[in-house]
Amino acid sequence: MRAKMARILVLFAAGIAAVASAIVPASATTSPAWRIVKTFGPAEGVWSDNFSVSGAKDAWSTWIACKPCSGSNPVTHFYVEHSAGTTWRQVGVPASLESAAEASVAIGASADKNLWLFQPATSSRSLHAHVLRWNGSKWSRQAIPSWAVHLNPSGTYAIVPAVFGPESVWVFSLGVDAFTKPDHYVARYNGHRWTKLQMPAVPNQVSVLSEHDIWALGSTIATKAKPSASILMHWNGKRWSTVAVPSARVPKNATDDVLNPVALGPTDVWIQRDITKGLAGATTLYLLHWNGRHWSRVALAAGISGVDYLTQDGHGGLWVAANGPGPSYTWYLYHLNRKWTRYSAPAAKGTTVGDLISLNWIPGTRSVWAAGNMFQPGSSGGIIGVILKHAG
């Protein structure tokens, strides 16, 4: 759980319409409650970076648990989990493909019979990366171009797949290509071959609604004449268009970031603005809303120090996973639909909430999946991974 520094007063860019007066302070509630529907562990370490939801009866996630996590022989367990509604079941991976599955860095699916796990190339000189595909009854391994899943300059993989069907797959590798020229594209597969679709800027985060409604928050490449700037990019099925993101005055020795785009439609997008100063961590200042014509600034609920995840609620509002205020930095789930409502994050029996690690709207519904980690008491206590659901 990252610490959050105290809120910093910032002078906002001209031209942003403030709508904070329309937001009612958050009220606490537990009904209808979030509930835990799946647990993993306890183990010394439990984590999940990959979650994919294509509909009310199709959700996928991958989890890794280790016990022990250190030493010469750490023992890890890899799980591929599927939900056709509320409950989750494990989908086994053959022993011959287990190491490839554990090396996957992203997951995407369009149905229970069309799952893709993306595995990067094993070296910078390799011409191929791979995907593991599940067709509902068996796994297969397929080579793809190495540039379809590439490292960014920080030496990490930040991959967002959008799997629309067996013959329509998009793969966003966030950040510029670490090995070649500063390139910015999305890799596309049509069932036969992979191609690059150039983007107006380097994608940093993505929100996908359909093949004809994709939003990406990105950065332009800095030049001697012009510094890098944040922009929103929109794909309407035929071409990219861009929207400039408002700037903000930043206190001395602080950095400013916009992140976590959440699209609700072709003219309806939310992002958040964070500021970081020193070693205290990031503080979320406010949310920004684009309505197709102009930006509005939306105040946070009282008590929020930092927003970590955003997703839509299926009927015009937002869910927010956030913590604060200090010094406890307790995690809550906040709902915004004209007013803020705060929900407690439930803990598994005998644990406390360590952190929340994802929020995922279930398309076509008013329901949301979330994931998190729970801590058992004591210095030798284990960690339990959990999947939560809010049936809106």
Per-residue tens of pLDDT for the chain, all 392 residues: 333 322 222 222 333 333 333 344 455 554 468 999 999 999 999 999 799 999 999 999 999 999 888 887 888 899 999 999 989 999 999 999 999 999 999 999 999 999 999 999 988 788 899 999 999 999 999 999 999 999 888 889 999 999 999 999 999 999 887 777 777 999 999 999 999 999 999 999 999 999 999 999 999 888 778 888 899 999 999 999 999 999 888 888 888 999 999 999 999 999 999 999 877 778 999 999 999 999 999 999 999 999 999 999 999 999 999 998 888 889 999 999 999 999 999 999 999 999 999 999 999 999 999 999 999 998 788 999 999 999 98
Q: For residue 7, is it within any domain?
A: no
CATH code for position 226:
2.130.10.150
Q: For residue 292, is it within any domain?
A: yes
Name which of 183, 136, 138, 129 is nearest 161 in CA terms.
129
Q: For residue 10, is it within any domain?
A: no
Name which of 198, 230, 234, 200 is nearest 216 in CA terms.
234
CA distance 353 to 374: 5
The number of domains in the chain is: 1
Polymer length in residues for the chain: 392
Q: For residue 11, is it within any domain?
A: no
Q: For residue 3, is it within any domain?
A: no
Q: For residue 1, is it within any domain?
A: no
Q: Which domain holds residue 272?
A: 17-390
Q: b vs e for 349-386, b when ≥16 Cβ sit within 10 Å of the residue's Cβ? A: eebebbbbbbbbbbeeeebbbbbbbbbbeeeeebbbbb
Q: For residue 79, is it within any domain?
A: yes
**CA gyration radius, the chain:** 21
